[in-house]
Amino acid sequence: MSRNDAVADRFEEFADRLEATGVEYKPQSYRRAAENVRAHPESVESLVAGDGEGVEAIEGVGEALAAKIVEYVETGEIEELEEFRAELPVDMAALTSVEGVGPKTVGTLYDELAIEDLDDLETAAREEKIREISGFGATSEENILAGIEFAWQANERSLLGDARPLGEELLEYVAGGVDEANEAVERCELAGSLRRWRETIGDVDLLVASDDPEAVVERFTDWGRADTVIEAGTSKASLRANGVRMDLRVVVPEEFGSALQYFTGSRDHNIGVRNRAIERDLKVNEYGVFDISGVDDPDAGQRVGERVAGETEAGMYEAVGLPHIPPELREDSGEIDAAVAGELPDLVDADAVRGDLHVHTDWSDGKDGIEEMIAGAAAFGHEYLAITDHAAGPGIVADTGLSDDDLREQRDAIEDAAAAVDAEIDVLCGVEANIDADGAVSVGDGVLDKLDLVVASPHSGLDGDGTDRIVAAIEHPSVDVIGHPTGRYLNRRPGLELDFERVARAAAKHGVALEVNANPSRLDLSGGAVRTAIEAGATIAVDTDAHRPASYELLRYGVHTARRGWAEAGDVLNARDFDGLRAFLDNEA
Confidence (pLDDT) at 24: 82
Mean pLDDT of 528-555: 97
The three-state secondary structure class of 61 is coil
Cα–Cα distance, 198 to 203 (Å, whole number): 11
Cα–Cα distance, 479 to 215 (Å, whole number): 58
Confidence (pLDDT) at 98: 86
Q: Is the pLDDT of residue 180 over 90?
A: no
| Whole-number average pLDDT of the chain | 92
Cis peptide before 266 (omega within 30 of 0): yes
| Confidence at 52, pLDDT banded by 50, 70, 90 | very low
Q: Is the pLDDT of residue 405 over 50?
A: yes
- Residues 6 or more apart whose CB falls under 8 angstroms from that of 237 comprise 217, 220, 221, 229, 231, 247, 248
- Residues 6 or more apart whose CB falls under 8 angstroms from that of 224 comprise none
Contact call for residues 347 and 353 (beta carbons, < 8 A):
no
Cα–Cα distance, 557 to 542 (Å, whole number): 9
The reply to whether domains 256-324 and 350-585 share a CATH topology is no
Q: Is the pLDDT of residue 178 over 90?
A: no
Burial call 165-181: b when 16+ CB within 10 Å, e when fewer: ebbebbbebbbeeeeee
CATH number for the domain running over 3-157 = 1.10.150.110
Contact call for residues 257 and 310 (beta carbons, < 8 A):
yes
Q: Which of 288, 258, 38, 262 is nearest to 161 (CA)?
A: 38
| Confidence at 50, pLDDT banded by 50, 70, 90 | low
Cα–Cα distance, 479 to 448 (Å, whole number): 8
- Residues 6 or more apart whose CB falls under 8 angstroms from that of 4 comprise 37, 38, 40, 43, 44
Share of the chain above pLDDT 70, in %: 97
- Residues 6 or more apart whose CB falls under 8 angstroms from that of 587 comprise 511
- Count Cβ atoms below 10 Å from residue 228 Cβ, excluding itself: 9
Cα–Cα distance, 330 to 264 (Å, whole number): 9
Domain ranges of the chain: 3-157, 159-251, 256-324, 350-585
CATH number for the domain running over 256-324 = 3.30.210.10
DSSP secondary structure, 67-134, as one string: HHHHHHHHHSS-HHHHHHHHHS---HHHHHTSTT--HHHHHHHHHHH---SHHHHHHHHHTT-GGGST
Q: Which residue has the higher pLDDT, 588 or 305?
A: 305
Q: Is the pLDDT of residue 16 over 70?
A: yes
Cα–Cα distance, 545 to 364 (Å, whole number): 13
* pTM, entire model: 0.80
Q: Which residue has the higher pLDDT, 225 or 359?
A: 359
Q: Which CATH superfamily includes the segment(s) 350-585?
A: Metal-dependent hydrolases (3.20.20.140)
Contact call for residues 410 and 394 (beta carbons, < 8 A):
no
Q: Which fold has domain 159-251?
A: Beta Polymerase; domain 2 (3.30.460)
Confidence (pLDDT) at 53: 58
Residue type at 357?
L
Phi and psi of 116, rounded to 5°? -115, -25
User: What are 247-306's pLDDT values in tens digits?
Assistant: 999 999 999 999 999 999 998 999 999 999 999 999 999 999 999 998 888 888 889 999
Q: Give the bridge partners for 201, in sequence order.
A: 158
User: What are 195-250's pLDDT values in tens digits?
Assistant: 999 999 989 999 999 999 999 999 999 999 898 898 999 999 999 898 789 999 99
User: What are 116-140's pLDDT values in tens digits?
Assistant: 988 889 889 988 999 999 989 898 8
